[in-house]
């Protein structure tokens, strides 16, 4: 259980790193008259991600979940892949990447890196992580709850992002 708590703490630390990058990128975007959208759903998204990070170890502890190597090891590989995809997205978008919906008017859509393959590859990473992190240690209730709630949040988020991109002339 200790190693799993450390894994979840490492993912939480990665999230803090994302927030630092996002804050810096937000300043860059705002300096270029960025359009900010989606403030209504952002708190729900943050709460959901915090819930994932709290729910994983809590379920393992309270539910006395066993580590099952046949499930946990492949899910650890998926988790590592999701982190790699997320940071590929962040690197590809550069100062345009953010945890919020912030679009700089007049900039074209990015069509390189993972964006040449998918319109929203970062959300693929989020979905994969939301399944994999809990299942590394058989926290299946957390995996199901996050997946269902995340589907609702992403439906709103992607619609909001697409509308913001269209309004900024980038879609």
Which pTM does this prediction carry?
A: 0.93
Question: Domain map of the chain by residue range?
Answer: 2-167
Note whether 102 and 40 are within 8 A (CB): no
Look at residue 170 and tell me whether its pLDDT is greater than 70: no
- In tens, the pLDDT along 67-103 reads 999 999 999 999 999 999 999 999 999 999 999 999 9
49 to 16, 132, 152: CA distances (angstroms): 12, 14, 13
The two structure tokens encoding residue 114: 């993972």
- In tens, the pLDDT along 12-62 reads 999 999 999 999 999 999 999 999 999 999 999 999 999 999 999 999 999
CATH code of the domain made up of 2-167: 1.20.120.1630
State the pLDDT confidence band at 171, using cuts at 50, 70 and 90: low
For residue 67, the surrounding DSSP H or E stretch is none
- In tens, the pLDDT along 124-160 reads 999 999 999 999 999 999 999 999 999 999 999 999 9
- CB-based burial label for 60 (10 Å; 0-12, 13-18, 19+): buried
Note whether 65 and 59 are within 8 A (CB): yes
């Amino acid at each position: 259980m200790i190693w799993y708590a450390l894994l979840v703490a490492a993912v939480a630390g990665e999230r803090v790193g994302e927030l630092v990058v996002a804050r810096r990128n937000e300043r860059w975007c705002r300096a270029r008259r960025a359009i900010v959208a989606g403030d209504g759903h952002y708190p729900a998204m943050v709460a959901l991600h915090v819930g994932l990070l709290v729910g994983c170890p809590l379920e393992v502890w309270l539910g006395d979940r066993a580590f099952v190597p046949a499930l946990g090891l492949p899910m650890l590989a998926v988790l590592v892949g999701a982190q790699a995809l997320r940071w590929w997205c962040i690197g590809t978008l550069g100062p345009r990447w953010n945890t919020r919906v912030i679009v700089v008017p007049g900039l074209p859509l990015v069509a390189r890196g993972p964006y040449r393959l998918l319109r929203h590859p970062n959300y693929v990473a989020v979905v994969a992580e939301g399944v994999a992190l809990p299942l590394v240690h058989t926290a299946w209730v957390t995996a199901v709850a996050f997946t269902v709630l995340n589907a609702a949040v992403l439906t709103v988020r992607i619609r909001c992002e697409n509308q913001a991109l269209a309004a900024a002339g980038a879609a």
